[in-house]
A = this chain, B = another copy of it.
Amino acid sequence: MKTDIEIAQDADLKPIEEIASGLDLAREDWEPYGHTKAKLSDTLLTKLHDKPDGKVILVTSINPTPAGEGKSTVTVGLGQALRKIGKEAVIALREPSLGPVMGMKGGAAGGGYSQVLPMEDINLHFTGDLHAITSANNALSAMMDNHIHRGNTLNIDPRRIEWKRVMDMNDRALREIVVGLGGPLRGVPREEGFNITVASEIMAILCLATSLEDLKARIAEIVVAYTYDEEPVTVKDLQVEGALTLLLKDAIKPNLVQTTENTPAIIHGGPFANIAHGCNSIMATKTAAKLSDYVVTEAGFGADLGAEKFLDIKSRAGKFDTDAVVIVATVRALKMHGGAKPEDLKTEDMNTLKTGMENLKKHIETIESFGLPFVVAINKFPTDTKAETDFIKTWCESLNVDVALTDVHANGGAGGTELAEKIVEKADTPVQKLNYVYDLNDSLEVKIRKIAQMVYGADNIELSSTAKKQLTFYEQQGWGRLPVCMAKTQYSLSDDPALLGRPENFTVTIRELRPSIGAGFIVVLTGNMMTMPGLPEKPAALNMDVDQDGKIIGLF
């Protein structure tokens, strides 16, 4: 089989103006970025306000394993499959981060015959959104350090700075650094560290803002540090919300591209799925819903993190309905949840598969508890046996759960028509009422407890002494009515990455909280979250090249 980049380079892309006219967009609604990418106007949503919304289909999955689930691939494939069965569909995805692309991870542009294109650009600089976020984030840092350097009238305590610089790179040497060395011409020395750009609160804000005006208002609220008297210092105090918004004036515009089968795709924003909410932008999802009858979109990691945040944070902030959910599982990943070793995944093994089903079971219960209709998608790998996929089907049917086998990596949209037919039926049935896991009026502690117990299946939560103090302080600050954004390992339903399957009788330890007041949530850390990845022994970059004719080599 051809590699992803070979399939991408052989694809027959339409000029972006054709994709745009297919969506009835006028010339003033979009701007070209090259011949196959465009930015949609940030005022398009306002213009289309009175148009009815298409149905929103959320793609989530079981807990990820090294075996891979192919959630983005299924998302793209489902969008293509909907068009195959005669439905108008638009895909809404996150944009990839450049750092991991240089490191080891595959891109976030789908795979095989279910990719968004041009994948080379999408995986590299794309339309510059992440670079704009990096600039805005680091302009804020420079302004704050300059303020301290020039007399510090705001009384900022350099030991209590929340705001870090960012870089869109996997660069472990920047995790802990000291800046401002070298005397009075070089600023005030202090401890600092770089996060990867997607971990910036500005990324989370961009994805939750509903307009340029809302973006500015949210940026103004960012808490960057505390004073020596422990009072929060905000962007508004530094008076730079206007300049930072100006730096984001194009980044806020959703990007339009197409898939391998020319299905329109809106790719916009990509916040971390642990310390942030891990979904593409509200503006992208809502715009897609205005432009089509069905939007297929995804959330980060498994349903315990991704779907919970999509529903409790994103859909609440965006005031939009979610109409149906796809839960992606693979034979390989289920077997790992059942105890199979990575080297044994190619061998049929009904025992580990059967045990691993418990992980899927928990995520099914979670989606049911939200009151949403759903379909389980078995994303087929070449090594799966018929006995294995049949087992999952029978298992689902015995629970009265709809299930579809998909083969979109190898066959594109044609490999997803069964899933498309089934999800349309679900999406077209009106949802009674979405049950959020928690009410915004719940205290922060109650919110955390509800998620841990209802979504993770924990017996209880345990608060560190730091977390206890912070809970009191945050409630005093008036931040208690914000949603919480859980930062937990994606590999387990619990906070211990080694506990696969469906762990029971466990307690979730709440280590620390962090304010993301601009984004509008409180980050709850249940362990050490790495916010700056490192490079592996042999980075992917070593294989990348571009020949004298400009042909790209080795990008996946």
A residues whose Cβ falls under 8 Å from a Cβ of B: 31-35, 39, 42-43, 98, 102, 121, 124-125, 128, 131-132, 134-135, 138-139, 141-143, 145-146, 149-150, 167-182, 185-188, 192, 211-213, 216, 239-240, 242-243, 245-247, 249-250, 534-535, 537, 539, 541-546, 548, 550, 552-555
Contacts and interface: CB of A to CB of B under 8 A. Distances in A.
Given A243-B545, A246-B546, A175 B187 contact: yes
Contact of A146 (B121, B240, B534): B534
Contact of A550 (B42, B185, B552): B42
A250 to B, nearest CB: 7
A23 B447 CA distance: 63
A553 B134 CA distance: 22
A177 B181 contact: yes
30 contacts: A32-B34, A33-B33, A33-B34, A102-B142, A124-B246, A124-B247, A125-B131, A125-B247, A128-B128, A138-B169, A138-B171, A142-B535, A143-B539, A146-B172, A146-B535, A150-B537, A172-B186, A172-B187, A173-B187, A175-B185, A175-B187, A177-B178, A177-B179, A216-B546, A239-B542, A242-B553, A243-B545, A245-B546, A246-B552, A249-B546
A299 to B, nearest CB: 27
Contacts of A541: 139, 143, 240, 243
Interface of A is mostly: mixed
B213 A548 contact: yes
Nearest to A244: B541
Contacts of A211: 548
Nearest to A176: B182
B43 A550 contact: yes
Nearest to A532: B186
Given A34-B33, A172-B145, A545 B188 contact: no
Nearest to A172: B187
Contact of A243 (B43, B102, B180, B247): B102
Contacts of A212: 546, 548, 550
B546 A242 contact: yes
Most chain B CB atoms below 10 A, which of A187, A240, A243: A243
Most chain B CB atoms below 10 A, which of A31, A149, A250, A546: A546
A514 B98 CA distance: 30
A135 B546 contact: no
Contact of A173 (B131, B142, B249): B142
Given A242-B554, A243-B542, A541-B243, A173 B180 contact: yes
Contacts of A139: 102, 169, 541
Most chain B CB atoms below 10 A, which of A33, A39, A132, A541: A541
A182 B186 contact: no
A527 to B, nearest CB: 14
Nearest to A35: B31
A177 B39 CA distance: 38
Contacts of A172: 145-146, 149, 185-187
Contacts of A240: 541-542
A529 to B, nearest CB: 13
A142 B98 CA distance: 13
A169 to B, nearest CB: 5
A242 B535 CA distance: 17
A242 B179 contact: no
Most chain B CB atoms below 10 A, which of A176, A216, A250, A555: A176
A46 to B, nearest CB: 11
B186 A176 contact: yes
B174 A179 contact: yes
A182 B175 contact: yes
Given A139-B541, A146-B172, A243-B541, 7 more contacts: A32-B33, A102-B243, A142-B171, A149-B173, A211-B548, A216-B546, A242-B545
A175 B180 CA distance: 7
Contacts of A548: 211-213
B128 A125 contact: yes
A132 B243 CA distance: 22
Nearest to A148: B173
Most chain B CB atoms below 10 A, which of A179, A537, A552: A179
B175 A242 contact: no
A539 to B, nearest CB: 6
Contacts of A171: 138, 141-142, 145
A377 B231 CA distance: 57
Nearest to A121: B250
B545 A246 contact: yes
A173 B150 contact: no
Contacts of A149: 172-173, 534
7 A-B pairs with the lowest CB-CB distances in the bound complex, closest first: A242-B545, A176-B182, A173-B187, A131-B131, A243-B541, A243-B544, A145-B173
